[in-house]
Structure 1
Amino acid sequence: MKNIAVFCGSSLGNDSGIIREAYKLGQTLAEKNIGLVYGAARIGIMGKVAEGVIYHSGETIGVIPNFLKTKEVAHTNLTEFIVTDNMHDRKVIMYDRSDGFIIMAGGFGTMDEFFEITTWGQLGLHTKPIGILNTNGYYDALILQCKAMVERGFLKQENFDAVVIDETIEGLLEKMNNYKPLPAPKWLNKERL
């Protein structure tokens, strides 16, 4: 993978282990020559991932909508800085510039990004790996909810299994590198792909 998008919080939260892991993720991406595509902020978990990349001489592509440039305090030391008109364009550019996606701790915005990119995969609109970095069990409740959706017939097991999950950065990256995409859904018109 050349570039990985990391979806995560613009807040730091209160778990020092997650904060350390965010920096370590950035460092690991830089050391593996994998570029970071992210929301362009210098604050929060986003900022810690970016710091890890920058301080280890990695590539950073930040994408931010114009109206958030001051609210999220945009990072000024990125390899590439892209300003969009809106949130949707931000996500499309992050998708286009990435070969895979990692979900770290975050709030509603992170959940929005996770569910949208996962839904696109379920619909066969992309075949890129999606990984959850479940540091300190942050996503245990989400994983249980997904299992409940499978048990009650609202989510196919194969679609849940298409999301790779690990508690460690190295384990997650290995699973993403070995990812085998789902076949395109039969009900979709291939011309739309």
Structure 2
Amino acid sequence: MMNTEQTYIQSANEQLTAFEEHYQYDVSYLQEILAASPEAMQAFDQFKAMGAFRRKLSPEAYFVANIATMQTEDCGSCLQLVVKMALEAGVSSEIVRGALNKGAGLSTELELLHLFSVGVATNNLVDGLQEQISELFGKEALVEIALCIAASRVYPSLKRALGYAGKSCSLVQIEVQERN
């Protein structure tokens, strides 16, 4: 009979394998966390809810912020994952391409959100832009944007700290495939 920790480890491994297969994303760094410290993985599981929290933001706004932030981290595999997730969430390929192209071709609001996200992630925020984003999207959405930006930076940081940057954080050609 398995104890609670063994049950958690088995379940977490199954979830990681399913995630890896679904998104074609290397989860080795997460498997390493789980193997080294199931308690750390449980803490990380709780963190993931923060990064995915979205009530006011549209999927388009959430993923523009996520893509813009992820681009600043220079992690190609993480960026490709976010692109796949955006398309899966119903974000149009045009918006995804705009987000990948420094906001070009996006609506004014989404272009400003892209600029804001990059500014926050690089500590180079244009004066007055935070207030403008708050007015455009609302204070609650601004909080969700802040959570998205902060959470987006965690994954590449974990990979780098655990020695996976050279293996999986290199820039890649990002594919934006039309949804069927």
Q: Hey, which of these two has a bigger chunk of strand by percent? A: 1
**Higher RCO, Cα 8 Å, sep 6+:** 2
User: Of Structure 1 and Structure 2, which has the larger fraction of its residues in helix?
Assistant: 2
Q: TM-score, normalised by structure 1?
A: 0.27
> Which structure has the larger Rg?
2
